[in-house]
Amino acid sequence: METESKSVRKGMRQPYVVLIFIIAIALTACVTYWLLASYVFPKEFEPVQLKAREQQALQGKLKAIGIESQEPGSKAPLEPERYSEVDAKREIAFTERELNAMLAKNTDLARKLAIDLSDNLVSAKLLIPLEEDFPILGGKTLRVNAGVELAFRESRPVVVLKGISVMGIPIPNAWVGNLKNVDIVREFGDEQGFWKSFADGVEDIHVEDGRMMIRLKE
């Protein structure tokens, strides 16, 4: 009687074992598909399209710093103008959407690079197509993520590489010259060169959610 009861219970468990096995296969397939779609075969980014009001605001900002867009075929002559710095605008400010929309001027680049602005952090996602003869991953596209801290502290700009990852795997610090979490301006700003000139010319940098502002010195 006891043997028969065990056989009945064993027979009842078998369908559950099969069901669990099927669920495990389905979950594995979903995870594999997500990994392939996200990292090995990532889709291109959708270029940002500004609304008319946003586009007008961006054109005003670009014009203020000397960048003007002309319609194809337009050859309006420049008007002579006396140089002056009186009331000159020394502040450059862009929203996250404006930065990504400027990338969209180059459609190919906009589909492979996207910028995110958050508090004191500029993050970028980049898709890198590999040549067909590249070992193992030839013809595939790599997804690279990077983050850089941008801030202004102790009367000087702060530029810190927070990290770089490839296919979701963080790159070792040694592979990026041991520059991860190092204030590059503080490290190299005392030497003659780009970083010293950059630091000496910046009065303020402010990055917040969706917006970046840089104020230059006279």
User: Would residue 59 count as lying in a domain?
Assistant: yes
User: Would residue 207 count as lying in a domain?
Assistant: yes
| Domain count within the chain | 1
User: Would residue 1 count as lying in a domain?
Assistant: no
User: Would residue 193 count as lying in a domain?
Assistant: yes
- CA distances to 25, 82, 187, 198 from 191, in Å: 58, 36, 9, 12
User: Would residue 36 count as lying in a domain?
Assistant: no
Task: Identify the pLDDT of residue 123.
Answer: 92
pLDDT digits (tens, 9 = 90+) for 145-187: 899 999 999 889 999 999 988 878 888 999 888 889 999 888 8
Per-residue pLDDT, averaged over 96-120, amounts to 81
Rounded CA separation 147/176 (Å): 13
Torsion sign over Cα 208, 198, 149, 203: negative
User: Would residue 35 count as lying in a domain?
Assistant: no
Per-residue pLDDT, averaged over 56-75, amounts to 68
148 closest CA partner among 123, 166, 113: 123
User: Would residue 28 count as lying in a domain?
Assistant: no
DSSP count for the chain of H helices, then E strands: 6, 8
46: pLDDT confidence band, cut at 50, 70 and 90?
confident
User: Would residue 168 count as lying in a domain?
Assistant: yes
Domain span holding position 137:
42-67+89-216
